[in-house]
Amino acid sequence: MLAASISGCLFALLMYPQDNSYTKRQITESIPIVVQEQSSDISNSAPPELGLFWKEQKVAKGDSLSLLFQRANLSATDVYRVSSSKSGKSLRNLFPGEIFRFGIDTQGQLEELHYIKSPLESLIFTHNNGTYSAQKHLRDPEILLSYRQGVIADSLYLSAKKANLPDKVIMELANIFGWDIDFVFDIRPGDSFSLLFEDRYIDGEKLSSGNIMAASFTNRGKTYQAVRYQNSKGLSNYYTPEGLSMRKAFLRTPLDIFRISSGFNLRRKHPIHKKIKAHRGVDYAAPRGTPVYAAGDGKVIATGYTKANGNYVFIQHGQTYVTKYLHLNNKKVRKGQTVRQRQLVGTVGSTGYATGPHLHYEFLVNGVHRNPRTVKLPQALPIAQTEKQAFTRRTAPVLAQLAEYQAATRLASTQGDNASAN
């Protein structure tokens, strides 16, 4: 009963840091919000000059500058004057959804043209003695941290969706923990996650979600934690709170898990091979065409086709390790080629001895087959000694914040349980 009430308890909270200490404001040029006569979801513009009549046109597919000017009842001469001005060439590549605001005076003269490329970027053309000069306006979004947590009920993807996580953030979450957790085989109902990630806002409207700043994943009772850190060279990576890299030499799952796990049944078995004997790898049932990735950096030592293996790719990693990928639909690498971790090496198929599309994956240590799911892998690298101090200073507050939210929602859920028990 308890387990059921916890797994049914998904929190999706949006909280703002109260002291705004996290809020990044790097506005290069502060532009007041403009309330236009026409309501628009994009309000990025300079204040309209008084006494002008404003017309707005949204760029549609196939639109040209001439068409936009025509629809605003402006002439070919106007088009020419604007497009031949110094900044005119930035009007050559228009994209659907961009907005033009035409500020026209009582004589029909185009006094101002606001070319709004996005909520963050616009170009303002101003009339001056028959020519136009332009000024670029850039805005930086306000970045706020959002907290989410969830309990796995079905797949990571579906449970994360229920916790109101954007797709991009779900992918990043899986990438961060993909070195430690096999999201196909190791995930269990009751596993849980919580995370803090950036949301970008402009004028109170959400633009998009950004990076995960800290996250925690509990898989079969074991908790993994990760925190993002940007080093002094500007490179960002994820580390454990102790400063060990989350990135390891090998991925746990060498394929795109989201192609399998959206409808993935946790208890499903995979009777894939006709011949069970001498089965020395792991089989990942996946739709045909699912991308297969190199588990680690290495060199392709063999590719080809045999009746048993179907299309195959073998990769050597340093002196010690070899990984093998069988039954591929397509091979995407050649023998002798150097590959990077997570590089596409082929796609899932059912070539060779296979009753259905799946990836057969083998992991060899010094020529001996090992279970890729349990084999002890090379240790992760610690953060550089020179970065250690800065790392601790900058990541501790984020981790503390994550812990605070976790505790707050635990409390809320306990109180909720008590309430429902009464």
Binding site for Zn ion (CB under 5 A): 281, 283, 360
CB of 373 to Zn ion, least distance (A): 13
Pair of tokens at residue 31: 């532009």
Closest approach of Zn ion to the CB of residue 183, in Å: 19
Pick between residue 247 and residue 288 the one whose CB is nearest to Zn ion: 288
Q: CA 175 to CA 181: how far, in whole Å?
A: 10
Question: Hey, which residues does 144 pair with through a beta bridge?
Answer: 199
Lookup: tokens for 307: 């009746």
* Of residues 307 and 393, the one with the C-beta less far from Zn ion: 307
Q: Residue 158 CB, nearest distance to Zn ion (Å)?
A: 27
Please, are residues 239 and 383 in contact by the beta-carbon 8 Å criterion? yes
Give the nearest distance from C-beta 20 to Zn ion in angstroms.
Answer: 54
Cβ-based nearer residue to Zn ion, 274 or 393: 274
Q: Least separation, in Å, of the C-beta of 273 and Zn ion?
A: 5
Nearer to Zn ion by Cβ, of 233 and 275: the residue is 275
Say how many C-beta atoms besides its own lie within 10 A of residue 385's C-beta.
Answer: 8
Distance of CA 292 to the CA centre of its chain: 19
CB nearer Zn ion, residue 124 or residue 251: 251
Residue 34's nearest CA partner among 23, 49, 51, 24 is 49
Q: Which residues of 241-258 are buried (b: 16+ CB within 10 A; e: fewer)?
A: bebebbbbbbbbbbbbbb
| Whole-angstrom distance, CA of residue 368 vs CA of residue 370 | 6
The whole-angstrom separation of Cα 339 and Cα 294 is 7
- The rounded distance, in Å, linking the Cα atoms of 100 and 65 is 10
Least spacing, CB of residue 283 vs Zn ion, in Å? 4
Of 281 and 291, which CB lies nearer to Zn ion in the complex structure? Answer: 281
Of 59 and 286, which has the nearer Cβ to Zn ion?
A: 286
Q: Which is nearer to Zn ion, 329 or 337 (CB)?
A: 329
State the sign of the Cα–Cα–Cα–Cα dihedral 297, 301, 305, 307. negative
Q: Considering the complex, what minimum distance in angstroms separates the CB of residue 157 from Zn ion?
A: 24
If the CB atoms of residues 55 and 360 are measured against Zn ion, the closer one turns out to be 360
Q: What amino acid occupies position 24?
A: K
Q: What is the nearest approach in angstroms of Zn ion to the Cβ of residue 335?
A: 22
User: Residue 190 and residue 3: Cα distance in Å, rounded?
Assistant: 8
CA-to-CA distance for 112 and 93, rounded, in angstroms?
Answer: 20
CB of 352 to Zn ion, least distance (A): 10
- In sequence order, what DSSP letters do the residues of 287-353 get, joined into one string? -TT-EEE-SSSEEEEEEEEETTTEEEEEEEETTTEEEEEEEEEEE---TT-EE-TT-EEEEEB--SS
